[in-house]
Chain A
Amino acid sequence: MAKKRLIQAINDTLFAEMERDPKVILFGEDVEISMFGDTKGLHERFGPNRIRNTPICEATLTGMAVGAAAGGYRVILHLMFSNFIYTGFDAIANQMAKLRLMTGGQIKLPITVIAGYGGGRSTAAQHSDTPYPLLMNLGGVNVAVPSTPADAAGLLKTAIRGDNPTFYLEAGGRGGERGEVPDDDFTVPFGSARVCRPGTDVTLVSVGAMMKPTLQAAGALAGQDIDAEVIDCRTLVPLDTETIIASVAKTGRIVIVDEARDRCSAASHIAAVVSDEAFTHLKAPVKRITVPNVAMPYAPNVEKTVIPNQEQIAAVTESLVNNPDK
């Protein structure tokens, strides 16, 4: 076990995976110097045939990821900020997500797309989006959103070793949490949520970096005699609905905390599944805590009001448990 930051866990894992499999290649804009620190040192170690800076051309980079994967490589494409997923979206939505089915399952597309996501640092609306809802809707791509260093390492290995395209969204650009990472070659399977804190009164489901305020809120709620169970989705595609439903069967209440805009968010999808499959267990309405349907504002005081925080999570949960009819 070693304690490290999330971004360090990603960096270590990239080293290990590139060491392990010579077919793993990585490219993207300024990945050699590494803005977030996740690809730091790889160029010095593996050289330009394994990791390479690219021109600014996202529409081409996403297409190249498809072509290089079809050509037998395990591709890691770093898109820097998640907003640049939009710039490269054609080959993602029209090729990456569909090519396998359209061609009768002939090929595998081992592609891992890395991008930093989310707001909170006054980077304004074009450098702060949380894009997983639209990725979830594509059908043909996996979505991983690690919140701890151990999960960051385990999920990244699963993504790189897997045979399907995966969007690996990192909140690491915002510092990233510190945590223990096992030394052995462990992986975290996709579609397996983690119960981070057992509880009996209410289920709090968190996506990605929302884990920190959610756990803090759970801690605060304990002081008010509310015992919250906290679940980290870890991957949104595939989504571990079983763990969520089992928890709701026990608690009868659920609050989903999601950094995406509310409309068609991950939270609204989870809410739909829970209403469908756990209806008889519910003692209160299904609650979503999300971002309002606005572009991310620059001013820190305004940005702060849109991103879910500990106080908001605690207040919504408390009211749900104590006054479900309100």
Chain B
Amino acid sequence: MLAMYRTMLLIRRTEEQLRDDFHAGRLPGGVHLYIGQEAIAAGVCAHLDDADPIASTHRGHGHYLAKGGDPEAMLAEVYARETGICKGMGGSMHVADFSRGIIGANGIVGAGLAISAGAAFAAQLDREGRVAVCFFGDGAANQGVFMEVLNVATLWKLPLLLVCEHNCYSEFSPSDTVTAGEITDRARAFNIPCSVVDGNDAVAVWQAAAAAVELARDGGGPSFIEAKTYRIYGHNESEVHWLSSEYRDETEIEPWRKQDPIERLGSFILENGVCARENLDALDIEIRARIAAAAEAAAAAPPPDPELMRDMMFSGQQP
């Protein structure tokens, strides 16, 4: 419980740092913030080991951190430094750490679905009980590949957990203007275990994921979880610079702020006497200090050597 809380707080503080860094002009590219959705990454990844592969999205910082990715190396990546987890070659939308099963955030909406199915296939062939997880958005569920993956995963009983993060928006389009019916019903059509959970309730996500991961590890095939949540920040932090009109009302956001997943888990922890308020506060102080130091280190790190790109395009071959 406390571990999940720590993960969520780590994601929050890291992203607040990135948000401020972006608006202060310290980052070369934009960032898509996961703030408000932390319970999903934390609740699911709590069941995973380094060997379990996860595919993520353009909004991928949270998945990376929840899966044990190094915050220092991620910040350095977004800062475009050679010390970054991808040596400054990928940036925010491509953070990945294959040694920890983080097989990549992704700039192509829906791309993680098929990649995770392939990773699940490899896991199945290895028979070591690994499970693959794909995090994807409600918008991504409208790509045809979603149905194709549901089909192959069901047919082959792949050890795959599909986690749809329904945050009510697909860029600037409210989900109900671009998505017909319930996304869960699409998965239900394949007769795989499906659950719809409150994505701002870490305990509920944790429970749903526990069952799904266990099933996959035991050879029971794929599952689907739809986590209902809300995107508190914009689609991308840069949008204020180029959007010519508003697309949602502040009054719509406010009730969701009250459903903050970190505060909710914090209350749950305190109510159940897991630890005291002071412990949570101390944790926050510790994380804030760590992230501030990480940002400073990232800012001071050198940019990548341009020649690196030639070595990295192919393995053992020049471009």
Contacts and interface: CB of A to CB of B under 8 A. Distances in A.
Interface of A: 29-30, 33-37, 40, 53-60, 83-84, 87, 121-127, 292-295, 297-302, 305-306
Contacts of B283: none
Interface of B: 28-30, 80-81, 86, 88-91, 93-94, 106-110, 139-140, 142-144, 170-173, 177-179, 242-245, 247, 303-304, 306, 308-310, 313, 319
Contact of B172 (A30, A83, A121, A293): A30
A40 B30 CA distance: 22
Given A53-B178, A297-B309, A299-B304, A87 B108 contact: yes
A36 B177 CA distance: 21
Given A55-B170, A124-B90, 16 more contacts: A29-B173, A30-B171, A56-B140, A57-B142, A121-B29, A123-B29, A123-B30, A125-B90, A126-B107, A127-B93, A293-B319, A294-B319, A295-B309, A297-B89, A299-B88, A299-B91
Contact of A292 (B80, B245, B319): B319
Given A54-B178, A56-B170, A124-B29, A298 B90 contact: yes
Contacts of B81: 299
Contacts of A124: 29, 89-91, 93-94, 107
Contacts of B86: 298
A38 to B, nearest CB: 11
A33 B172 CA distance: 8
29 contacts: A29-B170, A29-B171, A33-B172, A34-B244, A37-B242, A40-B244, A53-B178, A55-B139, A55-B170, A55-B179, A56-B139, A56-B140, A56-B142, A56-B178, A58-B143, A59-B143, A87-B108, A87-B143, A123-B30, A126-B107, A127-B107, A294-B310, A294-B313, A295-B309, A297-B88, A298-B88, A299-B88, A301-B303, A302-B306
A121 B106 CA distance: 18
Contacts of A54: 178
Given A33-B172, A126-B107, A126-B108, A302 B309 contact: yes
A35 B242 contact: yes
A56 B143 contact: yes
Contacts of A122: 28-29, 80, 91
Contacts of B142: 55-57
B80 A299 contact: yes
A128 to B, nearest CB: 10
Contacts of B30: 123
A55 B178 contact: yes
A286 to B, nearest CB: 22
B109 A299 contact: no
A37 B244 contact: yes
Contact of A126 (B93, B245, B247, B308): B93
A58 B139 CA distance: 12
Contact of A300 (B80, B170, B308): B80
A288 to B, nearest CB: 16
A59 B142 CA distance: 11
Nearest to A298: B91
Given A126-B93, A126-B108, A300 B28 contact: yes
